[in-house]
Structure 1
Amino acid sequence: MMQMKIATKGTTLRALALATLATVGAATQARAQWSRTYEQFYLPGHFNWTFRREYATADRLFNAFDYGHAILYERLYTRPGAPTSDLETDEYNFITQKLLVSPPNLPLEEGAIEINYAKMAPEAKMMFDWAHLLHRQIYDVLASEEMTQADKDAKIAELVGYYKTRPDLAFSSTPKNMDLMEGQPYSLAFRQRYPKFNGLIWGYHWLQVGLYEPLMIGKTREERQAGVTAAVTRFRQMLENAPEHMPRIMPMTAAIAPTFAARYPEAAIIFDNLHAMHDVVSDILANNEKVPRERKRAAILEAASRYRDATSFNMSIAEWKSMGEMMGIANMGGPAVGVLTDWPTPTLPRGVSMAEAMKGMQHGSGAMPGMPSMPGKKHGADSAATKGGMAAMHGMSHGADSSAAMMPHMMELHERMMRDPVIRERMMADTAMRRMMQAMDSTHGGMQHDMKGMDMTGKAAKPDMSTMPGMVHEAEPATEPAHEPSAKASTAGKVKSAATKKAPTRATATTKKPASTKKATSAKKPASAKPAPPKPAPMDHSKMPGMKMPGMKP
């Protein structure tokens, strides 16, 4: 009997120990999912709610935007196998035809819409909420008719400082490069699968930063009111014939609101990082192949950490400013202010990444602004001429149908590149390249280049354009071999040519003097056919620094 009691007691103790271990293990696992984030009140001030009073129509749109972000994340997370029409048709039509037509009067509690997403990644939700609050308070300051410009500058600096008191939530005020947004394994999934809804989100972001510009440049209350109304109207027009007029790449604050970005760069950078993080979360939730459901929280938290720090995926402020200019405001939805007589003409295909758009166009010792470095694609001088030449290539196609239209751009590019001393020196050191350029000059207008005393106007054969990928040219009619004219005829022709020669074009670097006439001799040389000129050697594209044309092999 005693032994039975001891055995029973031992069994009970073992069971209790196992239960305790299981409880501790469960608590440890649960604690790993717990969030320690907390809400914080906005900075008090008499300026709060000014934008809502003065610009009620625009303010109500922001309430609808909150719904759009929330329902997007909830649908992507809870319905991973749903057809694209759930978002592209059903939700899109509800938002654009009902919600944006009659938006809510007050901000929505997004947690009541994105219930499951908010439980899965509450830290990311709080980051968005904290940044959206900064957005709204800066609108309030800029909308104030009582504050002076100095007062507004001081208050916005205070707001940014207050925002940064939450390092667990605040987006970094250091610009992040596009590799963080577009260079990850899961990147681009959302924009490629949901082009209309993606365009709608980018339209939101266009208006959110675009409204700063009329508030900044308007001289009177009436001008500011008219500017905000015009920006809201343009946003609504973007929704027509979607996604035709929607942004094709993420709108950047420095391009859409340059006055605001120049005066308040920290705030502008924070908002660009905020909008990029929105894209990242959409990609993670939409890409179930690269990020299965059990890894989505970890992937979102990793991205959130990178967008908060000041050490990873950084680019300089100068690169951040120039990126918007190089990508083109027409690809971001167009300007938010000024008179537009027609829709902006985009130069990029929909869904393209910024890395793809900038491929092959690199300056200085590294990569293009905001893009990761690409080995083997460097040249020394980051000159304005080189930038202009690269811009001339922007958006150009290289098919047979466009070869004639492309040639003037190619010649302009050729001229500008040759004004870069580093490129010029390297190309002149390559005999094959030098012969090719001589042939181009002879064929297209007799252009001259003063390159360290080298005359490149000598006669040369036309280049064999059939060796250039994507170039198709009609065959030239066959002609009889040319015969050398007599000295008298040659003299008369030269005199006439010198008298009627036109002034050199702008592309001409030096002015050719008329050929001097020679006295004809009595002895005539027998006419003989000239031998066919040799074809120039094929161009070695690998020796052209920083250049890579579509279809060309490195």
Structure 2
Amino acid sequence: MITSIISRRVVLAASAFLFALSAPETARAQWSTTYEQFYLQASHNWTFRTHYQHADRMFNAFDFGHAILYETLWRFPDAPAAELEVRRYDQLTKHVLIKPPRIPLEEGAIEPMYARLAPEAKVMFDWAHLLHRQLYDVLADERLSWAQRDTEVARLIRYYRSRPDLAFSSKPKTMALMQEQPFSLAFRKKYPKFTGLIWGYHWLQMGLYEPLMVGNTPTERQAMVRATVVRFFQMLDDVPRSLPHQMPMTVAVAPKFAERYPEAAIIFDNLHSMHDVVSDILTNASVPRNRKRAEIMLAARRYRDDTTEVMSVPAWRVMSEHMGIENMGGPAVGFLPTLPTPSVSYGAVMRHDAQSGAMIGFGYGNAVTDAHAGHHMAPDRSAKTADEHAGHAMPAAPSDPAPSDAAQVATLVGDFHAALERGDSTKALALLAADVMILESGSMETLADYRAHHLPADIAFARAVKAKRAPRTVTVSGDVAYSTATSATVGTYKDKPVDALGAELIVARKVNGSWKIAAIHWSSRKR
């Protein structure tokens, strides 16, 4: 076992290779210096490789797949989509993943031209992947108690963050960096199968934490790890339908891990998000070849800092929930024999409010539409083209942007439900318009009727039985908005079992700049 930290310095004279690879105007003295760093010394190092050999080898295959992807996109920008969607996809799924490499690969040998283009980004990815592997080792070491594991995880994260030039931020980033830039979504639109495969990689990388967290015995953990790997291969059976339709989020795929180690979970979500960003930059022809390195470096800085496009941890959790575990490949443990049915079309772009995390729409391009509507929502930060940004860095978003109308309506509805669950009738009534109409149980009530009749019962029910709501959609048309959601309610109310499915339509109206609830329609049925 290697017991010392190994580092090597990589110095690249960019003036030579950039002259050969890009336009003449980029052929100027440009030096990049970075260095790689090895495992933190520990007795648990390589435990996962020893005890879970096949699962560990999958990571070597994933490294190969990422390297082949970036090298192909950079070296062969004019290659037909079939080069990745057919030839490379088949190579990976029919050969490399079936018999994965036994040892970690030197990715620089597989992606030499990309490594010259963006060595800093390559080493950022390597540094985060090393954290992945060391955390698997900690959780796989049967000699460690959970208190000792917690100590080791904290120590490894401190070690990881000791490299601010490489470490991804442990603050959750909004989807704007990945989905609302001028170059965004180019890769998933041109290469849907390969996008799904990469998301499948990320599902397994995060998902393998969960059996190590929830398994009660070594035998049970072994069986659950094998089942999670088999589940990954099941995703390859009916592509692209069976592949993840959204980028898997750690808090959804590995909730126990994310609950215990949220800092690590956030780092990995940011890592996986930037993987998509680099793919988009390399794919999108609107980013000139002589600007691709600059855009990758800008993205790398944004994902390292703790200020650009940051959202709160609660909002990150809400966003992950609203994206839908069924759209990410499903849970990593405790799954049913068949894959879940996605609730969005393949490649749909989920739009979220950065403050609350609530879903406010979806679409299929940089201009995201209101959910179920034909009207474009104004993108916050994607109005300029890549050429307009060619001479300077794209500005960071404001630290406290004003919420959109859709986000305000989503918050309004959420506040109303929260007031009912708290038993706060004053707050609930304050959110209703004076001429509100409420339809439920076959009746129609005014504000006065509702205050006197159904409001007390709604509060009592909401406090006794919690409803699990599906992602809410909000459609805005001028000063009127429509919020729709379905729900499942299971519990006991007045000593009687409750197992019901519900649907909700709330109409909001803007009056003097503020949104109020103008109409509510609730319906439900037994499951």
TM-score, scaled to structure 1: 0.67
State the alpha-carbon separation in 2 of the partners of residues 68 and 271 from structure 1: 18
**1:319 is the counterpart of 2:315:** yes
**1:240 is the counterpart of 2:205:** no
- What's the counterpart of residue 292 of structure 1? 288
One-letter identity of the residue aligned with 1:65: F
Q: Any idea what the Cα deviations from partners look like across 1:80-99, whole Å, max 9, x if unmatched?
A: 11111100011001100111
One-letter identity of the residue aligned with 2:360: M
Structure 2 counterparts to residues 273-422 of structure 1, below 5 A: 273-289=270-286, 291-355=287-351, 358-359=360-361, 373-377=402-406, 378=408
Q: 2:433 aligns with which of 428, 431, 435?
A: 428
Structure 2 counterparts to residues 49-448 of structure 1, below 5 A: 49-289=46-286, 291-355=287-351, 358-359=360-361, 373-377=402-406, 378=408, 425=430, 427-429=432-434, 431=435, 434=436, 437=437, 445-448=442-445
State the alpha-carbon separation in 2 of the partners of residues 36 and 204 from structure 1: 30
Q: Which has the higher strand share?
A: 2
> CA 1:283 to 1:149, structure 2 compared with 1: closer, same or farther past 3 Å?
same
Q: Secondary structure at the match of 1:272?
A: helix
State the alpha-carbon separation in 2 of the partners of residues 119 and 77 from structure 1: 11
Q: CA deviation at 1:44?
A: 1.3
State the alpha-carbon separation in 2 of the partners of residues 200 and 373 from structure 1: 36
Report the more deviating stretch, 347-356 or 107-116: 347-356
- What's the counterpart of residue 22 of structure 2? none
Q: CA deviation at 1:452?
A: 6.8
Runs of 5+ consecutive residues of structure 1 not aligned to the other structure = 1-21, 362-366, 389-414, 458-467, 471-504, 508-538, 548-554
Q: CA deviation at 1:345?
A: 1.8
- What's the counterpart of residue 515 of structure 2? 545
Q: Secondary structure at the match of 1:288?
A: coil
- Whether the 8 Å CA contact 1:379–1:423 is kept in 2: the answer is no
- Whether the 8 Å CA contact 1:160–1:267 is kept in 2: the answer is yes
> CA 1:249 to 1:421, structure 2 compared with 1: closer, same or farther past 3 Å?
farther
One-letter identity of the residue aligned with 1:229: R
- Whether the 8 Å CA contact 2:431–2:516 is kept in 1: the answer is no
Q: CA deviation at 1:37?
A: 0.5
Larger radius of gyration: 1
Q: Secondary structure at the match of 2:351?
A: helix
- What's the counterpart of residue 511 of structure 1? none
Q: Give the paired residue count.
A: 407
Q: CA deviation at 1:542?
A: 5.3
- Whether the 8 Å CA contact 1:331–1:347 is kept in 2: the answer is yes
Q: Any idea what the Cα deviations from partners look like across 1:276-302, whole Å, max 9, x if unmatched?
A: 01010001011012x111000000000
State the alpha-carbon separation in 2 of the partners of residues 76 and 94 from structure 1: 16
State the alpha-carbon separation in 2 of the partners of residues 59 and 420 from structure 1: 55
Q: Secondary structure at the match of 2:331?
A: coil
State the alpha-carbon separation in 2 of the partners of residues 318 and 162 from structure 1: 26
State the alpha-carbon separation in 1 of the partners of residues 204 and 284 from structure 2: 27
Q: CA deviation at 1:184?
A: 0.6
Q: Any idea what the Cα deviations from partners look like across 1:473-529, whole Å, max 9, x if unmatched?
A: xxxxxxxxxxxxxxxxxxxxxxxxxxxxxxxx999xxxxxxxxxxxxxxxxxxxxxx
Q: Any idea what the Cα deviations from partners look like across 1:241-293, whole Å, max 9, x if unmatched?
A: 1111111111111111111111111111111110001010001011012x111
One-letter identity of the residue aligned with 2:324: G
Q: Secondary structure at the match of 2:443?
A: coil
State the alpha-carbon separation in 1 of the partners of residues 324 and 360 from structure 2: 11
Report the more deviating stretch, 62-71 or 40-49: 40-49
> CA 1:381 to 1:333, structure 2 compared with 1: closer, same or farther past 3 Å?
closer
> CA 1:454 to 1:195, structure 2 compared with 1: closer, same or farther past 3 Å?
same
State the alpha-carbon separation in 1 of the partners of residues 425 and 195 from structure 2: 40
Runs of 5+ consecutive residues of structure 2 not aligned to the other structure = 1-14, 20-25, 353-358, 362-369, 372-379, 381-398, 455-479, 483-497, 501-506, 518-527
Q: Any idea what the Cα deviations from partners look like across 1:12-59, whole Å, max 9, x if unmatched?
A: xxxxxxxxxx9xxx9xx8785311111112101111111111101111
- Whether the 8 Å CA contact 2:412–2:516 is kept in 1: the answer is no
- What's the counterpart of residue 40 of structure 1? 37
- What's the counterpart of residue 494 of structure 1? none
Q: Any idea what the Cα deviations from partners look like across 1:229-248, whole Å, max 9, x if unmatched?
A: 11001000001111111111
- Whether the 8 Å CA contact 1:285–1:296 is kept in 2: the answer is yes
One-letter identity of the residue aligned with 2:338: D
Q: Which has the higher helix share?
A: 1
State the alpha-carbon separation in 1 of the partners of residues 97 and 113 from structure 2: 25
Quote the sequence identity (%). 53
One-letter identity of the residue aligned with 1:358: I
State the alpha-carbon separation in 2 of the partners of residues 342 and 269 from structure 1: 29
> CA 1:372 to 1:178, structure 2 compared with 1: closer, same or farther past 3 Å?
farther
Q: CA deviation at 1:545?
A: 3.5
